[in-house]
Chains A and B, each alone.
Chain A
Amino acid sequence: MQTNFTSAQLADPHMAASEKILRSCVHCGFCTATCPTYLLLGDELDSPRGRIYLIKDMLEGGKPATAEVVKHIDRCLSCLSCMTTCPSGVHYMHLVDHARAHIEQTYKRDATDRLLRALLAHILPYRNRFRLALGAALFAKPFRPLLAHLPRVGKRLAAMVALAPPRSPAVTAEPAPLTRADRRRVAILEGCAQPVLQPAINAAARRLLARADIEVVRVAEEGCCGALVHHMGREAQALEFARRNIDAWITAIDQQGIEAIIITASGCGTTVKDYGFMLRDDPLYAEKARRVSALTCDITEFLDRLDLPAVSTAPKRAVAYHSACSMQHGQQIRDEPKRLLRNAGFTVRDVPEGHICCGSAGVYNILQPEIAGRLRDRKVGNIERLRPDIIATGNIGCITQIGGGTAIPVVHTVELLDWAHGGPMPPALERAPGLNSRVVQFPLA
């Protein structure tokens, strides 16, 4: 596509990078067809091609973002379905990240919007604050209908509260890993929200790795990957998180010899794998960031490369595998999780319209509850048509989002794998009515 940037504008490396992306877009419109918001709204402005055009115009003109532009960019889920579809290799993610940062710098949101966003940005990425807030949300749950009636933010606050799990998960004690010099070592991102919401996921991952004789090193200083704030356009905060994590991991790499940084939430995975790009212009961090990104992998990518012991008793369970957007589009991981589940004896079914987002998308379901709700219903409808016993996915956001719309238990892929390989039954299955009674207990591996 033709572009109109001045050479002065292109001197800014951010601008130059975006110009390159815009140049590669041929405006063929293929991406519109797989964009969840276009599917629902039927308006090109709410499609990738439309957004790309809005961004192009905004950046070329050097204009501050307008309310109209912000509306359509805000509606973008960052699901990156458009990137999978695009034959021209347009890097929409980097373009929209740039746009979001530009919006954050040039656009003044109304007071309630600002408040909500600040709240999210100051609570979610911090494990302890989030834990506290969750307590408050549980407390607020009975007041949801009331909240929904508050002007402007009401619906969104209600959405936030709705997402809180019905009971606050217990903080499980972790077995201290044994340390042996010749063992393979990895780190697992603890991050922010997930360990609070579902500590069972990383615990399952650890048990799986332990069975393969791989040690999980605790990297105390790490924290939120920055994805949440990054998607809100808070670039500085995101980069700060990234640098902190990089420092922590580089130390672990250099001193403890970890071979991989394993991520169990694909939302985080997409971002950590992008650290290299995010910090490409930071002379102090560019190289380190690149190293970290290169070692980062999803837990299923990692497990797929291992020789997991065979499963002796096959769990006769039909699993609908929901591929998180950040998994299939953000990281282009498609077959590994399904292969692992099949090898562990599950019957895996592909969800029709599987390329469409469930509406979770980080904090999207809080900021855009209406679209998110419609997408969730569409997703649940597609999944329920398969009549699965269990829904598996690799991202905490999807688990909460889909779980809120169906009675079928939703679990993380590694929880199922761990169960099949001798671990405990995933908590969500134990809670599921009717399912636990039919459950065959696996022999301990």
Chain B
Amino acid sequence: MSSIAFPTPDPAILARRDDIIAGLAALLPPECLVTSEDERRAFETDALTAYRRLPLAVALPRNTAEVAAVMAFCHREGVKIVPRGAGTSLAGGAIPQEDAVVIGVSKLNRILSVDYANRTARVEAGVTNLSISDAVMPDGFFYAPDPSSQLACTIAGNIGMNSGGAHCLKYGVTINNILGVKMVLIDGTVVDIGGQALDPAGLDLLGLIVGSEGQLGIVTEATVRLLRLAEGARPVLFGFDSSEAAGECVAAIIGAGIVPVAMEFMDKPAIEICEAFAKAGYPLDVEAMLIVEVEGSEEEMEAQLARICEIARRYGVKVVKESRSATETALIWKGRKSAFGATGRVADYICMDGTVPTSQLPYVLKRTGEIVASYGLRVANVFHAGDGNMHPLILYNVNDPAEQAKAEAAGNDILRLCVDAGGCLTGEHGVGIEKRDLMRHQFSEVDLTQQMRVRAVFDGRWLLNPAKVFPLDGRIAA
């Protein structure tokens, strides 16, 4: 399988592998350096497993100083670097290259301090997203961005991809909830950008770094915003007879000036898959379902729900089912958040991530179905409807090269459709390698060149995660 190209590894680097490893071994203790082929193998991919590249070595530093030492060394030696968090990227953002050293931050996994009065926490970049909320939840706080992978993915990866999640409709994505980072630049210089203050001192460098897919530096610490939990939260399931009706209902709710905390969409195939895993009580006799979450006091939730139900009725809602307990709520979200994984029980999949204006949802959903069907494949849709961020899961058999090619072609068609409908290629998973070659569909050469010029300020030699984001041809040097 190989419709997405990787750059040819630099033979000079490959030839110097032993020296490079010896150099790294002088900087890191043995348990922080992975060099044997068997062991490197486990790092050859992320959650886009159809693509794999065995890295030259894997470094797992334990602190910023070690990260800096390794980066300075690689920079001096002209060795490429692929930063890695938990390796859950769906876009292949953390997939290595044969001539690159993977620098993983998984050992940087401590919460350094929590400051409730200022509503921030300082964490090492390798902490998992959920562990922050877990740590502050007993005191009534949480870290808002909640990618479905939050159990496993790291803040580092979230910063890399500017990750979002179901509750980002109200609370914003990663960039809106990060105040500062400690980052190691390609030459090993350590910089502190931002801090606990709410605005930048000069240029908004943080705005560049978040979402830069590991191309500007390696983040080792972050200051995140903590929010106070609402008094209560309740998800409600709305079942519809057609995906279009559900899509229209979403647009109507937003249009009516109601911004719920979360508004998630699942079509029938997705409902069936998730229900089988989570037993959350999803309605099985509907074509599409919305999970709408409201929060506040009991009366506030009732009042908001009444307004939402009123709109849903106008779109012919068939089933309305409120969560009745904390356990039910947990199950409803467990089902949603496990959707991708649970799909693995049924088939292999690739997950698209285009965003479209909410008014375009019904149209794009319909076209998506048609496109996938035209390739003779099946699709399950489960996504963040409130912000138009679609995740069609194209189901196929990865062991069949012909199906793999079809799935990818269908995926590309869908992403072009999203762009043409006024949206973009990726709403939260990032470009990685997966959408790299579609970038010209969304951006002009001038747009891309300007992005690359900024990139070059940080990494003029294209050493940091160089196979990603920008089409391999037409790259500009510093």
Contact = CB atoms under 8 A, between A and B. Distances in A.
A29 B49 contact: no
Interface residues of B, number: 43
B345 A89 contact: yes
B128 interface: yes
Given A2-B50, A66-B38, A68-B36, A26 B88 contact: no
A323 B453 CA distance: 56
A314 interface: no
Contact of B46 (A27, A31, A38, A58): A27
A68 B58 CA distance: 14
B139 interface: no
Interface in A6-57: 23-34, 38, 41-45, 49-50, 53-54, 57
Given A29-B86, A43-B107, A87 B342 contact: yes
Interface in B318-367: 338, 340-345, 348-349
Contacts of B130: 33
B171 interface: no
B130 to A, nearest CB: 7
Contacts of A50: 42
Contact of B60 (A3, A29, A31, A43): A43
Contacts, number: 114
Contact of A2 (B41, B49, B86, B277): B49
Given A1-B398, A28-B47, A43 B149 contact: no
A25 B149 CA distance: 15
B31 interface: yes
A85 interface: yes
A54 B45 contact: no
A343 B69 CA distance: 59
A42 B341 contact: no
Contacts of B151: 30, 33-34, 85
Contacts of B191: none
Nearest to B351: A26
Q: Which of B1, B107, B109, B399 has the most CB of A within 10 A?
A: B399
Nearest to A53: B42
Interface in B1-55: 1, 31, 34, 36, 38-39, 41-43, 45-47, 49-50
Interface in B65-109: 86-88, 104, 106-109
Contacts of A88: 341-345
B344 A25 contact: yes
Interface in B228-275: none
Interface in B397-443: 398-399
B126 A30 contact: no
B152 interface: yes
A33 B133 CA distance: 14
Given A43-B60, A54-B38, A29 B345 contact: no
Contact of B47 (A2, A3, A26): A26
Contact of A28 (B31, B39, B50, B341): B341
Interface in B101-150: 104, 106-109, 126, 128, 130-131, 149
Interface string B174-194: 000000000000000000000
A89 B43 CA distance: 22
Contact of A26 (B42, B153, B341): B341
Q: Which of A2, A54, A72 has the most CB of B within 10 A?
A: A2
Contacts of A89: 277, 344-345
A258 interface: no
Contacts of A68: 36, 38-39
A292 interface: no
Given A43-B106, A44-B87, A29 B152 contact: yes
Q: Size class of A's contact patch?
A: 35 or more
Specify the main secondary structure of chain B where it touches its partner: loop
Contacts of A32: 86, 152
A28 B429 CA distance: 13
Contact of B106 (A26, A42, A58, A66): A42
B88 A28 contact: yes
A44 to B, nearest CB: 6
B42 A54 contact: yes
Contacts of A30: 149, 151-152, 338, 341
A266 B90 CA distance: 38
Contacts of A58: 38
Contact of A44 (B50, B106, B131, B344): B106
Contact of B399 (A3, A24, A28, A34): A3
Contacts of A1: 49, 348, 398
Contacts of B88: 28-29
A86 interface: yes
Given A1-B49, A53-B41, A28 B152 contact: yes
Contacts of A123: none
A69 interface: yes
A26 B344 contact: yes
Q: Which of A26, A28, A44, A85 has the most CB of B within 10 A?
A: A28
Nearest to A70: B38
A28 B399 CA distance: 18
Nearest to A56: B41
A68 B130 CA distance: 31
Interface in B437-476: none
Contact of B126 (A2, A34, A42): A42
B160 to A, nearest CB: 15
A355 to B, nearest CB: 11
A42 B109 CA distance: 8
Contacts of B345: 24, 88-89
A23 B153 CA distance: 22
B132 to A, nearest CB: 13
Contact of B344 (A28, A38, A42, A54): A28
A45 B42 contact: yes
A38 B126 CA distance: 12
A278 B408 CA distance: 39
Contacts of B340: 26, 28, 87
Q: Which of B36, B41, B60, B341 has the most CB of A within 10 A?
A: B341
Contacts of A25: 344
A66 B40 CA distance: 13
Given A29-B88, A30-B338, A31-B152, 8 more contacts: A25-B344, A27-B47, A28-B149, A28-B152, A32-B86, A33-B131, A54-B39, A87-B340
Can you list the 7 inter-chain pairs with the closest CB atoms, starting with the nearest? A87-B341, A88-B344, A87-B338, A42-B107, A26-B344, A53-B42, A50-B42
12 contacts: A2-B348, A23-B399, A27-B49, A29-B47, A29-B86, A31-B152, A32-B152, A45-B42, A49-B42, A50-B42, A57-B38, A87-B340
